[in-house]
Amino acid sequence: MAFFIVGSERSGTTLLMAILGHHSQLAVPEVSWYYPRFRAYVHTYGDLSRPENLVILCSEMIHGLKTPYFGLPWNPATIVADLISELNEPSYRAIFNVILSRYARDTGKSRWGEKTPHNLFYIKEILEDFPGARILNLIRDGRDVAVEQLRSAFGPTNIVSAAQLWKRTQKAAAVGRSICPGSQWLDVIYEELVSNPQETIQRVLNFLGENYESELLNFHRGIVAQRRARTRDHHQLGEPISGRSVGLFQRHLSLWEQEVFAGLAGEQLEQAGYVTTVQPLELESDELALYEEWDQRVRAATLDAPEGHIVYESYNDWLAEQRQQRREQGIWTESEDGPGFDWPAQLLSGQRAPLKWKRRFAIQRRYESDKLVL
C-alpha cells in the first residue's frame, strides 16, 4: 500500500522521509516532484498507448530526478526500456508505480512511500491513481516555516510571500483532508514529532500498518540523512532528533514580520492550533503586489548563486519547452485540462522563479553540477 508524505516545504517532510526510510520494510527515496512536474501535464504527452509517447514520458521522469536515479546505480542507457518492460498498462500511474517499486526492490524493502511536499496540491490525482494510498500531512507553525524558508536557497524571499505560500498550503490541506477518507489521512504535528518522537513515530507506523523499530531513532546514520546533512538547508538531519527548531520565529522574525504574518495567515495559524499574541497587520493590495514582485525578482536573480537551484530549475524550464513543442506539433491543445503556465501554477508545479524574470536577468541554464543536487 503506497503512502505519500506531504505538507508545506520546511515543515518536517524531509525529517519524516529520513525516519520512515530507515525502516526495514519501507523504501522512501529522495523527492521526485513527479506529481507536480508530470501528472499535472500528462495530457501534453498525447496518447500514451503510442509507444513513442510513453517512452518520452518515462524518459523525462526517470532522467530528470534531482538526485539522479535516487542515488542507485541504474544504467542510464537501459533504464527506460527496463521500466517500460515492467508496465502493466501505458499510463503515468504505471510508470510512477514501477519506478518506486523498483527503488523498493533494489533497496531490499517490501513497500514504497514518496515525499514531495507539493503533492499536497494533488491529493485528488493521487487518490485517483492509488485509491488506497495513505497520506501523511506535516503541520508546523507557519512562522517557523517562514524562518526556515527565508534562510533557505529555494523558498520565498520575504515574509509576505512566505505567509501567502503557507496559507495556500493550509488551504490545500483542508481540501485534501475533506476529499480523502478519514482512515487514509493522518496529520503529523512537527512539534510533537520532535518533542516526543517515539510516540509520534509509533502513531505514524500504526497508521501505515507497520511495526515500530527502535532503530528508527538512529535515522540520522542512514544514507539519506547523511547525504542531506551535507547540505546547508538540512544539516540537522545528520544529528539525533531535537526540538531546537521549535519557536524559531520568536528569535528571527521582527515584530513587524510577525504582525504581517498574522494579518495574512492568522486564521490558518489559529485553525492549526498555534497562538499569536501580536496585532494582525493588513497591508494594502498595492504593497502586497510589490512584495510579490520583489520575491519573484530575487528568486530569479539568485538561482545561479551559491546554494542556488539552477540545475533543478534548468530542467524544469526544459520540460516546459518540451510541452510547448508538443503543442506546436498538435499533440495537445490549450483547451485541454491542465494547470496552465502562469506563475502560481508554475510555483506549485515545482518552478522556483517566473520565466519572465529569468529572461530579464539573463539567467543561463546549467544541467550539470559538481555539487550535491537534491
- Is residue 60 within 8 A of residue 319, CB to CB? The reply is yes
CA distances from 230 to 197, 217, 223, 308 (A): 23, 19, 11, 15
- Quick one: 310 and 214 in the same domain? no
Given 245, 266, 289, the domain boundary residue is 289
Paired with 185 in beta bridges are: 135
Instruction: Round to the nearest angstrom and report the end-to-end CA distance of the chain.
Output: 26
Q: Residue 242 corresponds to which cell in the numbers above?
A: 531535537
- Quick one: 120 and 244 in the same domain? yes
More confident call, 237 vs 270: 270
Q: What's the CA gap between 75 and 288, in Å, rounded? A: 48
Given 256, 289, 322, the domain boundary residue is 289
Instruction: Point out the least confidently predicted range of 218-222, 235-239, 342-346.
Output: 342-346
DSSP codes joined into one string, 198-229: HHHHHHHHHHHT----GGGGGGGGSHHHHHHT
In a domain, 257, yes or no: yes
In a domain, 347, yes or no: yes
Under 8 Å CB-to-CB from 94, ≥6 apart: which residues? 87, 88
Phi, psi of 73 (to 5 degrees): -80, 55
Predicted local confidence at residue 372, as pLDDT: 64
In single-letter form, the type of residue at position 308 comes to G
- Quick one: 196 and 331 in the same domain? no
Strand arrangement, sheet containing 134-139: 26-27, 111-115, 3-7, 134-139, 185-189
- Quick one: 301 and 263 in the same domain? no
Predicted local confidence at residue 125, as pLDDT: 97
Predicted local confidence at residue 338, as pLDDT: 62
- Number of independent structural domains in the chain: 2
Q: What's the CA gap between 160 and 225, in Å, rounded? A: 31
373 pLDDT more than 80? no
Q: What's the CA gap between 38 and 42, in Å, rounded? A: 6
- Quick one: 246 and 172 in the same domain? yes
How large a percentage of the chain has pLDDT more than 70? 97
- Structural domain of residue 63, as residue ranges? 3-289
* Parallel, antiparallel or unpaired: strands 111-115 and 26-27: parallel
> What rounded mean pLDDT belongs to the chain?
94
The 10s digit of each residue's pLDDT in 84-100 is 999 999 999 999 999 99
Task: Report the sign of the C-alpha dihedral through residues 40, 62, 117, 182, in that order.
Answer: positive
For residue 167, count other CB atoms closer than 10 A to its CB: 19
